[in-house]
């Protein structure tokens, strides 16, 4: 799909990093679900920190991003990655606003 400026339209991807023993991860999953359920404007991917794909780990290192606690929420759009939250659960409106800035 072409944008009027001639660039390609992109759909941002929101990554939620979780792990099994994380007390706040279930709440973060619910916030993401409520904020973007049914949205075609944002792709959601949940990544288990302990089972992360090595290629994706390299991508994070390449962008100098480090996931030090969970839940962590990262956005990717147009090949650029940005860490939005680390170790905290945002509220629904806050995450929508953050994503809108990078969409």
12-31: pLDDT as tens digits:
999 999 999 999 999 999 99
pLDDT tens-digit map of 45-86: 999 999 999 999 999 999 999 998 999 999 999 889 999 999
Distance of CA 12 to the CA centre of its chain: 9
Sheet holding 80-86, edge to edge: 43-48, 13-18, 72-77, 80-86
């Amino acid at each position: 799909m072409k944008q009027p400026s001639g660039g390609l339209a992109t759909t941002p991807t929101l990554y939620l990093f979780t792990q099994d023993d994380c007390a706040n991860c279930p709440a973060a999953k619910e916030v993401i679900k409520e904020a973007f359920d049914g949205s075609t404007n944002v792709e959601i991917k949940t990544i288990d920190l302990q089972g992360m794909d090595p290629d994706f780990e390299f991508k994070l290192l390449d962008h100098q991003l480090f996931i030090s606690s969970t839940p962590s929420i990262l956005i990717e759009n147009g090949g650029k990655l940005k860490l939005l939250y680390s170790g905290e659960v945002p509220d629904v409106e806050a995450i929508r606003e953050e994503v809108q800035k990078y969409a």
